[in-house]
Chain A
């Protein structure tokens, strides 16, 4: 029982990170029908920049806020320079290549300047694990699902209750119609990428105390976040969140009862099977075109 609880808690914690990354993909996709493929590198910026700014003497909250702001700006720049010019025509795929290229550049630059090794980001929440029913977990890890739920609710409120959020939904629903009613769709898309950048960086900042901040910390997580978004159906925020949490827990149970080495192979197999059964994703809806 203790072990089951342990796998559940650590699985929820890992899954929360996948969900946050997948939410970033959701925000980008909703606005642009394109994503930053190497979104894991924006996630990495959240951890690495916080560590660097802390080493420069900033207190943790300020360092984290500045890192998230910089990552949001970088998200906007990526949209303006590396996505928009390559996503003007229907079915354009140039943005895939350019976002992969810019992600590689970001990772290489970080490795060259920050160094190839991880650095610790000590916080009071990782000093001592807490015991819940015999299972152990750090408060920092418990914080992750809590922040995820809060982030999802805030995002939903933002989309429903703010002018900017409604504009984003309008662009997501019909870009041309949104333009006809005076919404600057390009600007809204850029803001959506900035928002996604902020979400990714927040996730990176939250997880860095547990896993170390390094230039490569976003590679695997970014890929799994994308996987979660696809399994869920990338256009459904609650679905993305639920799928991420489920995927995290599934991984832990696979590690515990099947095979540690085969964990990712099993995860990707599940993804393929789910896509065979639900081509739009578990929570995705088939797009109907009226003619």
Chain B
């Protein structure tokens, strides 16, 4: 059977078809860059850290409701797609894959735990999915060892910046100049040791005593006796609510009352369990919803309470700094999307460096810069000292503990 040579018209049609195929193939990656107007999230929504997931959901849903009520972004309503990771890194990675590949969200929000955020570094890089952390303060979340962080931003504190802040506050309050360090035996607590040591060395002050404790420890008497015997009158503390309550109870047991200056692992729950023993404990943070609030923040609090009736008082916001950070982060994301002009992850990432925004925590001017160190939006100048007074976590200037000790 002989084959007929193709006619000129048929040749032209075949050529056009091939060209169209090539054009479609070339267009496919560009199409994949287009993302959905949704903000994904991997949070601790159940399990022992469920309160942290709730603290973030409250802020993000309230901010999104405000933004959408004002017309949304680029003519579209922004959605929240939140998944539970129960605080487990492996689940956080699964959730990021879902958010990046199936839901195709334009950006993802992080949750409480630093190990989860660190586990996301490679998957986010592979997918080209921007991520904004709002609590996890580990330095290496944003400052990657390979120096090539492109996708992970943070609107929260950074451990490397927190340490000098705590040291300054501790030195201002220590009469004897003998400052001790007490930390939980986790990655977070142990990671703080070199930071605090460097910050103390920078001001030419040795750490008078260093003590650690385990998660779920109930009695820290032995460590505190050693601190007392070393003459420590001010303790820089890295731990969370439950163990902090057990520390102050152990202090009460042996009649030892040093000043505690704590990283922000301590929240409102500490006062609820420690009772009067919490009085005067100082905590670094970015925000508190207690005490006298600026007018704008009062409005935000009222809208959060309206949306979540379980928040009867500001004391029910158990992670006040995290809630405020998350609220600002959503607005920064919305501003970046407006600057990007389309729902495209790369354009969004590039636009994040052009955002200027006045938030409730800080004035972000600009929010980020193109160095790893400045992919953190909240600078140390915006860190605040908070203090427990009458069971509430207040701005320190609104408590009797605002004045540093005079030697």
Contacts and interface: CB of A to CB of B under 8 A. Distances in A.
B242 interface: yes
Given A6-B254, A116-B51, A136-B253, A212 B214 contact: no
Contacts of A126: 249
A44 B158 CA distance: 36
Contacts of B273: 117-120, 212
B269 A117 contact: yes
Contacts of A118: 241-242, 245, 269, 273
A227 to B, nearest CB: 15
Interface residues of A, number: 36
A115 B50 contact: yes
A210 B242 CA distance: 11
Interface string A247-267: 000001001100011011000
B214 A264 contact: yes
B320 to A, nearest CB: 15
B399 interface: no
Given A117-B242, A118-B242, A210 B216 contact: no
B47 interface: yes
Interface string A202-235: 0000000011101110011000000000000000
A68 to B, nearest CB: 21
B192 to A, nearest CB: 15
A49 B333 CA distance: 44
B212 A252 contact: no
A86 interface: no
Nearest to A213: B273
> Is chain B's interface secondary structure helix, strand, loop, or mixed overall?
helix
Contacts, number: 85
Given A116-B47, A120-B273, A256 B255 contact: no
B176 interface: no
A104 interface: no
Given A10-B221, A255-B223, A211 B47 contact: no
B248 to A, nearest CB: 12
A122 interface: yes
A7 interface: yes
Interface in A1-19: 3, 6-7, 10, 14
B185 interface: yes
Interface in A39-78: none
Contact of B275 (A117, A122, A256, A261): A122
A216 B249 contact: no
Given A112-B46, A120-B273, A264-B214, A214 B255 contact: no
B218 interface: yes
Interface string B265-303: 000010011110000000000000000000000000000
A263 B223 CA distance: 12
Nearest to A120: B273
Contacts of B253: 10, 129, 136-138
B262 to A, nearest CB: 17
Nearest to A126: B249
Contacts of A129: 252-253, 255
Interface string B39-55: 00000001111110000
Give me the 10 closest cross-chain CB pairs, A-B, nearest first: A255-B222, A116-B48, A256-B222, A211-B218, A136-B253, A120-B273, A129-B253, A136-B254, A212-B273, A116-B50
Interface of B: 46-51, 185, 211-214, 216, 218-219, 221-223, 225, 241-242, 245-246, 249, 252-255, 269, 272-275, 318
9 contacts: A10-B253, A111-B46, A116-B49, A117-B51, A117-B269, A135-B254, A211-B218, A219-B216, A252-B221
